[in-house]
Amino acid sequence: MDFSLTEEHIMIRDAARDFANTELLPGVIERDNLQKFPKDLVKKMGDLGFLGIMVDPKYGGSGMDAISYVLIMEELSKIDASASVIVSVNNSLVCYGLETYGTEEQKEKYLTKLATGEFIGAFCLSEPEAGSDATSQKTTAIDKGSHYLLNGTKNWITNGGRADVYIVIAQTDRDKGSHGINAFIVEKGTEGFHVGPKEDKLGIRGSDTHTLQFNDVKIPKKNRIGVNGSGFRFAMKTLSGGRIGIAAQALGIASGAFELARKYSKERKAFGTEICNHQAIAFKLADMATDIEAARQLVMKAAWEKDQGKNYDYSSAMAKLYASKVAMEHTVEAVQIHGGNGFVKEYHVERLMRDAKITQIYEGTSEIQKIVISRSLLRD
Ligand code: CAA
């Protein structure tokens, strides 16, 4: 077994690290304060190939593997988890779904632009009454012969006010339960499609989260993704890959906070010595480093399984469950190591602590990951 990264992976990681430090870092506190979407930076990430990391170059993508994806996600998330969630949603929930299940026409029209960052994508599954319980979709898409008529509300949609292309999951036949659900492509500006106010969030404040309203929106038949009734499985498969991305985001938040705490502990003095010389701090650092490394192995394993064409539902749920727990616990520790300074924005760790929380909630709460893991364990 070889745990080392290839030269190519190291180059990709270093390119993402360099971009995060030179481009994302300078304005990250301001964007968090003002809830400012990083529009120009998204364009730059598109130019670097970060918005279509795993997409085939024939559709404008970078043609990289899932290991590269998690390396990029970790590096961006060390500095700015708002920027990295835009990358994750576009790659995992939008590009992957279209490339894997879309028609050639859909790929030509949408994927080619999403993979380069000319377009941004959003994935619309959650509803006011269907967050974790995703089969209980209230949004309906009624087959009207020449088109579908879409009605309903979607909540907590990342890139909600900024996207050009929205993948919307809706019920087409209630009697068929999860087999009566479909996924549709909805373009920005379609008549009857309204973007609600932006959410004022605890964390990832630079990302753009909205409620969306669909009132008698006409969806051309050719905008359905996959065969009739395949929308729920489409959503679950895309979310499995999304969970690898969010696990890598959580890993990045944790490792970013750890690095700040480690450096701070070697500079800050108390009781006549640098605080890292006190076991109370040194042992915290040892625990943090150990847990972060364990999270990294889970994230890498899930990405590796995806690259090998294996089923990664189980490993992605485990990676997300564990990495998000580590992110939450150890960003709190990073604040503690910083003492009063940790409570101040300029030291960055309080933002990382706030950003960590969402990794235990979106793309399936920790409880949902436990459902996925335990069902998989108990299936014979
Ligand atoms: N791949 C393929 N098929 C799958 C699947 C998968 N990973 N998971 C489930 N299915 C299939 C099942 O086999 C089943 O098919 P059959 O009826 O033919 O047997 C069907 O789908 C229904 O599955 P379940 O009975 O398991 O469904 P359930 O109602 O018990 O729900 C769940 C399962 C795991 C709880 C699921 O609802 C779930 O993952 N919920 C969380 C949703 C979620 O992650 N939401 C996040 C929103 S997106 C977001 O956050 C984006 C953002 O902007 C950042």
Q: pLDDT digit string (tens) for 178-198?
A: 999 999 999 999 999 999 999
pLDDT digits (tens, 9 = 90+) for 57-95: 999 999 999 999 999 999 999 999 999 999 999 999 999
Task: Decide whether any atom of ligand 1 lies within 6 Å of the 117 Cβ.
Answer: no
Q: What is the pLDDT of residue 120?
A: 98
Q: Percent of the chain having pLDDT more than 70?
A: 100
Tell me, in angstroms, the distance from the centre of ligand 1 to residue 236's CA.
Answer: 5
Task: Decide whether any atom of ligand 1 lies within 6 Å of the 313 Cβ.
Answer: yes
Task: Decide whether any atom of ligand 1 lies within 6 Å of the 181 Cβ.
Answer: no
Task: Decide whether any atom of ligand 1 lies within 6 Å of the 371 Cβ.
Answer: yes
Residue closest via CA to ligand 1's atom 28 equals: 135
Tell me, in angstroms, the distance from the centre of ligand 1 to residue 232's CA.
Answer: 7
* 240 Cα nearest atom in ligand 1: 7
* 372 Cα nearest atom in ligand 1: 34
**Residue 380: band (very low, low, confident or very high) from pLDDT cuts 50, 70, 90:** confident
* Annotation says 75 is catalytic: no
Q: What is the pLDDT of residue 77?
A: 98
Q: What is the pLDDT of residue 358?
A: 98
Q: What is the 3-state secondary structure (H, E, C) of the chain?
A: CCCCCCHHHHHHHHHHHHHHHHHHCCCHHHHHHHCCCCHHHHHHHHHCCCCCCCCCHHHCCCCCCHHHHHHHHHHHHHHCHHHHHHHHHHHHHHHHHHHHHCCHHHHHHHHHHHHHCCCCEEEECCECCECCCCCCCCCEEEECCCEEEEEEEEEEEECCCCCCEEEEEEECCHHHHHHHEEEEEEECCCCCEEEEEECCCCCCCCCCEEEEEEEEEEEEHHHEECCCCCHHHHHHHHHHHHHHHHHHHHHHHHHHHHHHHHHHHHHCEECCEEHHHCHHHHHHHHHHHHHHHHHHHHHHHHHHHHHCCCCCHHHHHHHHHHHHHHHHHHHHHHHHHHHHHHHCHHHCHHHHHHHHHHCCCCCCCHHHHHHHHHHHHHCC
